[in-house]
Amino acid sequence: MPKAPEAPIRAFNLAEAKARLSSLVRRAEQGEVILIKRYGRVVAKLVPAEAPLRPKRTPGVWKGKVRIARDFDEVDAEIAELMAEGPVEPSS
């Protein structure tokens, strides 16, 4: 399978790179490789970040391992009263 054509590599001096960092990062996000030079020597390379590898998800892996109590949705009267009539700020 043929490789995709690579974006041209552009070089900028350090002062120019500092002044244009946001735009250079944007260009790197789009796949461009940026070289940064100091005194005519390449000292840094700004490249697109690799996408993080996500673990493969397996449906049903937690089946049978999690139990929800029958009274999960029932309202606790004491907590409901505190929420409705309790103080707005915690007491010290």
pLDDT in tens, 4-34: 556 678 999 999 999 999 999 999 999 999 9
> Cα(78)–Cα(85) distance, rounded to whole angstroms?
11
Question: Taking the mean position of all CA atoms in its chain, how far away is CA 16?
Answer: 28
Residue 33, CA distances (Å) to 12, 60, 66, 75, 88 in order: 11, 42, 48, 58, 55
pLDDT in tens, 51-76: 878 888 899 999 999 999 998 899 88
Backbone angle region of 64, left / alpha / beta, with phi > 0 → left and psi within -120 to 50 → alpha: left
> Cα(89)–Cα(92) distance, rounded to whole angstroms?
9
Q: What is the pLDDT of residue 4?
A: 54
Q: Write down all domains in the chain, each with its CATH number in brackets.
A: 9-46 (3.40.1620)
